[in-house]
Amino acid sequence: MRLKPVVRRACERLVDRLLVLPQHTIPQHLLSRWVHRATRYKVDWWKNTLIVWFTRFFDVDMSIAKERGRDSYPDFNSFFTRELQPGVRSIAREAGSVIAPVDGWVSEIGEIQDGGITQAKGKRFTLSQLLGGDPELAEHFRQGSFTTLYLSPRDYHRVHMPVGGRLLEMIYIPGRLFAVNPRSARVVNDLFARNERIVNLFDTDAGLMALIMVGAIFVGSMDTVWHGAVTPARTRTLRRWRYEEDPVHLDKGAELGRFNMGSTVILLFKQGAVRWSDALSPGRRIQMGQSLGVFTPSR
């Protein structure tokens, strides 16, 4: 017997809640620290076993990796953050293009309405929450544009610049470490505003841009190219680094950082700065370098 749509949706929501429930009680940071250590053991049998299992279980495409053999990686984390072969990802060079900073999926995309961002159908969170409770910073993006990009475990996990720009500030915001997969997004309220994250603020040709790297369960750490490892932090308190006197400039497509396990990137632009491609919608597969839309130069 086929279930009516309303009953089927209710059953699906119940399943989602039951599967996510354990995340509320497990020691998220302790488990992530264990994973951080385990993925850095430089013991051949250990890291090779992990690499073989992970590649098969998640159907990882090693044909595009710069180093294909497991013996090329000193530990599992080196494999997970593997570099791609030159040329397998082309960077959209059209004037004014905003490129995908990662391989992954479009989780949500659209406009920020009155400081609110769509997390999933029926769920929203606020800019102020996402940006660590900074109302002045949130005001810059209040009626702007956003996209949330999800990286699955099999994806390439380096993060690149969507547009060229100069780094202004990096903010580490402590938080929980819920999984950030579609199921969690449907169930956990304010998911991306509750998880640990790094807010990177850039002055770009499109104006002020925020690229936010959101941590998740088993994300052993997040790195940026100018700072190195930002997490796990020794003290889980909000921290800010300003770079006006120590400029860091990155071109479009340049590597910005990496996730040492999978997670999510959120892009924020100011009002009227970006027009997203009509071809993009939630669930759409993307590759690093492809055009997500075009921006209007701010100067």
Name the stretches of the chain with pLDDT < 50.
1
User: What integer pLDDT is reported at residue 7 of this predicted model?
Assistant: 63
Give the integer Cα–Cα distance in Å for 276 and 295: 9
Q: Are 145 and 269 spatial neighbours (Cβ–Cβ below 8 Å)?
A: yes
User: What integer pLDDT is reported at residue 299 of this predicted model?
Assistant: 61
User: What integer pLDDT is reported at residue 3 of this predicted model?
Assistant: 58
Give the integer Cα–Cα distance in Å for 16 and 184: 8
Query: Catalytic residue positions?
Result: 103, 160, 263
User: What integer pLDDT is reported at residue 188 of this predicted model?
Assistant: 81
User: What integer pLDDT is reported at residue 36 of this predicted model?
Assistant: 78
Give the integer Cα–Cα distance in Å for 72 and 156: 17
Q: Which residues pair with 148 in a beta bridge?
A: 108, 266
Domain residue ranges in the chain = 5-80, 97-295
Tens digit of pLDDT for each residue in 232-254? 766 778 999 999 888 899 999 99
